[in-house]
A and B are shown apart, each in its own frame.
Chain A
């Protein structure tokens, strides 16, 4: 897993590989996915929920603090190899 935290990595990574390794984590579990740049993230989100036994409606997927749309792809979000998709439980309070 390369460290994508620093911007200089960007150019070299962006060009070649067709597949990206994306980590999906809800803090307790980490699941790694290999996904094509052009594949909709819905696939990955569903797979994660299924594995963890969660209903997709009870969680929110965030990338860099922004909500991830099921129809987004790594391309549209400009994701890099090794990036993390965070899974947040819905918060509730009164």
Chain B
């Protein structure tokens, strides 16, 4: 039935190839058939390694990301409590993404060669099972039935799917890679051929195997359950995902444009957002040039606390990506800025950055003698701040590729109690006890230092408690809404902070702990931060880049200059 399926426009030579390929369907069909199209070769010739293809085509950022994950995994997996499973799964997804993009390009190429090869687009649907944006139709169908229904449905469904695909496809793909574009004419017939064997293979081996053929290091069964889970959680967020992918497209569009620079203006427009971009790109080439290496400093360059964010940092806000420290630190600062504006008692809060906890662990695990000097230096991290005069101290915890949050609550004098350490973890992954131990030691260190410096009358803690403070430190694991996936923990930490600063009383009393709980907020609220932060940053970058370009400043390294500064929001 494949034959009947094939568009008639192809040369008969292709028919020949196809037959040969059918003959050896059991073995993995070499993608490479493709390259030999001119010589009417059989599938046996490994003319072109498909991996090379990927390397040539793939978004290099993605590749970079994969590489760095690999490194982390290699370096750290022994130290991770889960043996690196989580990391591996991310890595796997990254790779699948890469795979998916590749497939899309293949299919795009096929599309561009006048005759939309129907089976090609079907492949992309079936194989790129993790590509949420485009595969929802397939996703809805039970996995097991897919292969079976594949052949039946092929005929009647593909036309409409193919057109759907064109709509959904990230516009960026059309101009994503110079290589593809330059060679579109020449290569597409080959690719089309290549697509056929792949689709066959898919039928025989089941839809999921294909996309992970090379990417997947884990046992197949394991992986299946995994991707299934991801699916489910994703579907529950169906509404958001649309937004995400749209945003992502825009970003990708911009990034890719940077990459290809001014080579050629050929852009296939697919949706409106892209339209605007292209209009802009007349003067936009310049804008994009600037964007590539753009950095912003938030809240401003002169602020000693400011965070530096590269344009590439935004990528971790793409759907299902793990959040990175620059984004975390950005939003933590953003919250402080907002609180300043709203005139809430922000001076009663202290926010440590994401590096603090790790540094604290280091400082505390030293020998006694060394510890004193180290702690003396470490104290400069919160120079001029008396922790015990704050109402709340926020400490983001980063360990084992997971984010959680600790909050030190310093009670009022009339509370007759000591500091209370809270731990909020949206996955219950971190070991609360050890976090409490470290933070308790931190408080004790700080207490024994301050005891010699500060008169008790200056303290907000009751004197008789202050005297025996180490005994009075309490801790509590707080029940909080749990994330329903394995990638939103950073957002949860930020949302915990945001909600807490909004809702917590001036000083926490024991009874106030009732404000928390599994129903504190809907998990979707936290997940929604992804888009919010992305928008915030997008705007910051746009503002700063336009400024920069308007001033026509060159991107000289020596003087990144004031033009990338951003104003307080």
Contact = CB atoms under 8 A, between A and B. Distances in A.
B312 A57 contact: yes
A55 to B, nearest CB: 9
Contacts of B347: none
B152 interface: no
Interface in B319-370: 321-326, 328, 352-356, 358-359, 362
B424 to A, nearest CB: 14
Interface in A29-74: 42, 57-58, 60, 62, 64-67, 69-71
B324 A92 contact: yes
Nearest to A63: B380
Interface residues of A, number: 25
B511 interface: no
A94 interface: yes
Interface string B402-429: 1100000000000000000000000000
Interface in B362-409: 362, 373, 376-377, 380-383, 398, 400-403
B362 A27 contact: yes
Contact of A69 (B86, B308, B322, B486): B308
B355 A60 contact: yes
Contacts of B353: 65
A91 B324 contact: yes
B316 interface: yes
Nearest to A55: B64
B326 A90 contact: yes
A86 B355 CA distance: 10
A69 B301 contact: yes
Contact of B325 (A3, A5, A86, A90): A90
Contacts of B308: 60, 67, 69
Interface of B: 68, 72, 86, 90, 297, 301, 304-308, 310, 312, 316, 321-326, 328, 352-356, 358-359, 362, 373, 376-377, 380-383, 398, 400-403, 486-490, 557, 559-560
Given A91-B398, A92-B72, A93-B398, 20 more contacts: A6-B376, A57-B312, A60-B308, A65-B359, A67-B308, A69-B308, A71-B559, A86-B359, A88-B325, A88-B355, A90-B326, A91-B324, A91-B328, A92-B316, A92-B324, A92-B401, A93-B489, A94-B86, A94-B90, A94-B401
11 contacts: A5-B373, A27-B362, A64-B381, A65-B381, A90-B325, A91-B325, A91-B355, A92-B324, A93-B400, A93-B402, A94-B86
